[in-house]
Amino acid sequence: MRIRTKFLAVLLVELISFIALSGLSVATFARVREMKTVVENGMSLIARSRRVYSLLKDVVFDLFTPDSYQALRSVVLAPRSLVTGREFAHETGIFRDEYDLFMKDKTITYILKRDGELSAANVSAAPLATQAFIKFEKLSALFERVRGLAPAEGKDLYMIIQESKDESLYEIFGEIRDSSFYLNNIFESFLNRFVRGIRLQAESLERAATLTFAIAVLLLGSLTVVVVYLLSSGILVSIRNLESAIGKVAEGDFSVHVPIRSKDELGALGSAFQRLADDLKRNVESIPSILKDVNEALPEAPDSETILAILSDALLREGGARSVCVLTRGRAGLQLAAKSGFDCLPDWHKGETRTVDAFRPILPNQNATFFVKDISQAVFDRGPLGFGASTFSLLVVPMTARKKNAGYFLFARDDRGFTDLEFSRLTAIADYAAQVLDSVEVHAALAARRDAGMEALQAQIQPHFIYNVLTSLMALNRMGETKKLEAAVIALKDMLRYALGKDQWTSVSEEFTFLGKYCELQKLRHGDRFDFSLATDESAEDMHIPKLIVQPLVENAFIHGLEPKLGPGRLSIGAAVMGDLLVISVQDDGVGCDPASLEAMGDSSLLHERVGLGNVAKRLELLYKDARLEFQGAEGEGFTATISIPLEECEPS
């Protein structure tokens, strides 16, 4: 959500809340006004009941004490009973109508539904009010009848009614008493209580509405402040995060992470900057990544075609192009050696060679770089090269190593043009890839030389081994041990097949099988003068080691340790994985060696002069980075030779 949209949403919510609050307040205060109107109507109704009660008293005084009424007439200015009686009948009718309208008012109905006390009072007063109005009608009729009676000389109206034979006239006194009671005690008391209750409710509702409105306005204002504060804080945090990330990138730290807190403009800006930082980091890491990918993918004995294919795939993954072609220079021209990604040269097949003239339109100088951001806008002849119709952007970088042009790297995209960052990365990668190719070629040459040296060292040990074995056979022959000689020749056949084989590498298990046969051959010669044992851990049996790397150590133990010893001897040969090392030991309990000889063995230059042990030391130095050949011994205490090879350099075969 955009920042502007967020603030508009907050404003809209606040506006809707204020409108709703205002509407609720207006409705509440309208209810209060209605209740106050009912109170005013109730007060008017109370005044009406008092007027009826006053008229009732006037009629009674005028009828029953006319002399007193005449005497006070000039003071009170009251009319005669005829007018007053009519007014009483009229007023009671108006009072009844107003009372009915008052009790049927919708506000009264609303209040009675919610106020149990007033509702109970109304239930009690309603039948009494109905009865009172009946009394008022009857009393008005009696007033009309009494008004027709003419009082006799010396007798007042009260005596006439008492002496009258019309018993119905007697009821006037009871009706006057009842009407007075209803007007004074029922209507006056009920209406006062009712009006007072409504007035209290109106005042309470008005106070509650005012307080609620004030609290709601306060809460709404506080909520607005909090929401605006949170929004502005989020914006400030995003800006600070982006500012920090920009500062780190400016200092060269491309591993920066920009926290994306929202999906607004700042979030989009942070995402865009994160992509920029990632592109910069990928640009920096692409060269080591290519070297790593090439090294991991290279087989033990790669040819140039395999190397170029691996390099092409690595450039496609790490460079940012969608198509990579590797063109190598030869005597006949340029050969398409590898192709990865979409086919930007559909008419040029892998392995096909074209003349250098085909590149003249885009590369007049063989060491120049050619770049076209939008190939559709470029002006050059694309016919000789046959670029595909989907090719959008093109970059051709020379493959230069040791100041010589060895070909070209061709990068292409089919979706958009190369960016300046991609151009910079691809040109740097192409230059480094050229160095990688050159390094691989140099490495291959060095490996060939190393293999030649290994073959020479192995060839050196083979005659030495054969000479020592033949010496043993000649000794058996001189002793006339025909059967032993026959068994030795058979064993020699198997040993020669192993020793003279073309493979330079073997497993610990195969090497120890060969050593067992060699020791058996020596035992045929020496008889019971010595015994031997071979022990290998299961974890060490499949480890990869050079062929005949242990045999010179065993031979040295026989010639210099066990043969000079007077009495029986023992030879122990073992192989085990100890920590991160493959350890092979050859131990004898022969005559041992003096300190001077042991010290000489620790000097590599002196050790290399010896045929057997020197050969082992040279091969270990040539093949391994951290392998060790160590010796332990003393005069008369035997001798131990130990080979230690790191497991990371000694993978199972």
- CATH code at 57? 1.20.120
| Spatial CB neighbours of 518, under 8 Å, sequence gap ≥ 6 | 469, 495, 551, 554, 555
17 found inside a domain: no
48 found inside a domain: yes
How far out from the chain centre does Cα 123 lie? 69
Mean pLDDT of the chain: 77
- Residue 58: CA count within 13 A, CB half-sphere: 22
Contact status, residue 507 vs residue 542, Cβ threshold 8 Å: yes
| Spatial CB neighbours of 58, under 8 Å, sequence gap ≥ 6 | 78, 81, 84
Q: What confidence score (pLDDT) does residue 457 get?
A: 42
Tell me which of 151 and 330 has the higher pLDDT.
330
Tell me which of 248 and 358 has the higher pLDDT.
248
First-residue to last-residue Cα distance in the chain: 60
Amino acid, single-letter form, for residue 336: L
The H or E element containing residue 376 is: none
Domain boundary (403, 434, 465) is at 434
**Mean pLDDT value across residues 490-517:** 79
What percentage of the chain reaches a pLDDT higher than 90?
A: 7
DSSP strands (E only) in 293-352? 323-329, 334-341
Q: What confidence score (pLDDT) does residue 641 get?
A: 92
Tell me which of 170 and 96 has the higher pLDDT.
96
Contact status, residue 157 vs residue 146, Cβ threshold 8 Å: yes
Domain boundary (413, 434, 455) is at 434
Please provide the size of the chain in residues.
653
Question: Distances from the Cα of 51 to the Cαs of 48, 88, 130, 372, 486, in angstroms?
Answer: 5, 9, 19, 109, 157
Number of Cβ atoms within 10 Å of the Cβ of 116 = 9
Contact status, residue 79 vs residue 19, Cβ threshold 8 Å: no
SS3 64: helix
pTM of structure: 0.40
| Spatial CB neighbours of 255, under 8 Å, sequence gap ≥ 6 | 281
Strands 628-633 and 581-588, bridge-based pairing: unpaired
Q: What confidence score (pLDDT) does residue 623 get?
A: 82
Per the structure, how many domains does the chain have?
3
Query: How far is it, in rounded angstroms, from Cα 73 to Cα 259?
Result: 100
Q: Is the pLDDT of residue 448 over 60?
A: no
CA angle 235, 239, 242 (to 5 degrees): 140
On whether both 57 and 173 belong to a single domain, the answer is yes
- Give bridge partners of residue 334 from the DSSP assignment: 329, 354
On whether both 424 and 486 belong to a single domain, the answer is no
What is the CATH classification number for the domain harbouring 525? 3.30.565.10
Helix residue spans in 479-504 (DSSP H) = 482-499
SS3 339: strand
What is the CATH classification number for the domain harbouring 365? 3.30.450.40
On whether both 507 and 645 belong to a single domain, the answer is yes
Contact status, residue 578 vs residue 539, Cβ threshold 8 Å: no
Contact status, residue 590 vs residue 529, Cβ threshold 8 Å: no
- Segment among 189-198, 431-440, 497-506 with least mean pLDDT: 431-440
SS3 541: coil
Evaluated on CA atoms 389, 390, 393, 395, the torsion sign reads negative
Q: Is the pLDDT of residue 631 over 80?
A: yes
Domain boundary (206, 241, 266) is at 206
Query: How far is it, in rounded angstroms, from Cα 312 to Cα 42?
Result: 101
On whether both 493 and 416 belong to a single domain, the answer is no
Query: How far is it, in rounded angstroms, from Cα 573 to Cα 554?
Result: 8
Tell me which of 173 and 334 has the higher pLDDT.
334
Evaluated on CA atoms 385, 390, 393, 397, the torsion sign reads negative
Phi-psi region of 351 (alpha: psi -120 to 50; beta: other; left: phi over 0): left
119 found inside a domain: yes
SS3 384: coil
Contact status, residue 588 vs residue 569, Cβ threshold 8 Å: yes
Amino acid, single-letter form, for residue 80: R
On whether both 307 and 190 belong to a single domain, the answer is no
**Mean pLDDT value across residues 343-355:** 85
Q: Is the pLDDT of residue 456 over 50?
A: no
On whether both 193 and 52 belong to a single domain, the answer is yes
On whether both 182 and 303 belong to a single domain, the answer is no
Query: How far is it, in rounded angstroms, from Cα 327 to Cα 337?
Result: 6
Query: How far is it, in rounded angstroms, from Cα 311 to Cα 509?
Result: 37
Amino acid, single-letter form, for residue 438: D
Amino acid, single-letter form, for residue 185: N
298 found inside a domain: yes
Evaluated on CA atoms 146, 148, 154, 160, the torsion sign reads negative
Q: Is the pLDDT of residue 642 over 90?
A: yes
On whether both 506 and 636 belong to a single domain, the answer is yes
225 found inside a domain: no
Domain interval for residue 519: 479-649
On whether both 410 and 502 belong to a single domain, the answer is no
- Segment among 8-17, 18-27, 219-228, 464-473 with least mean pLDDT: 464-473
Q: Retrieve residue 314's tokens.
A: 């690595």
On whether both 409 and 536 belong to a single domain, the answer is no
629 DSSP assignment: E
On whether both 412 and 545 belong to a single domain, the answer is no
Q: Is the pLDDT of residue 159 over 50?
A: yes
Q: What confidence score (pLDDT) does residue 300 get?
A: 58
CA-based nearest residue to 514, from 541, 488, 485, 551 = 551
Helix residue spans in 558-626 (DSSP H) = 595-601, 604-607, 611-623
CA-based nearest residue to 395, from 363, 365, 364, 355 = 363
Backbone angles phi, psi at 628, to 5 degrees: -135, 145
On whether both 534 and 605 belong to a single domain, the answer is yes
**Mean pLDDT value across residues 282-294:** 63
The H or E element containing residue 446 is: helix 420-478
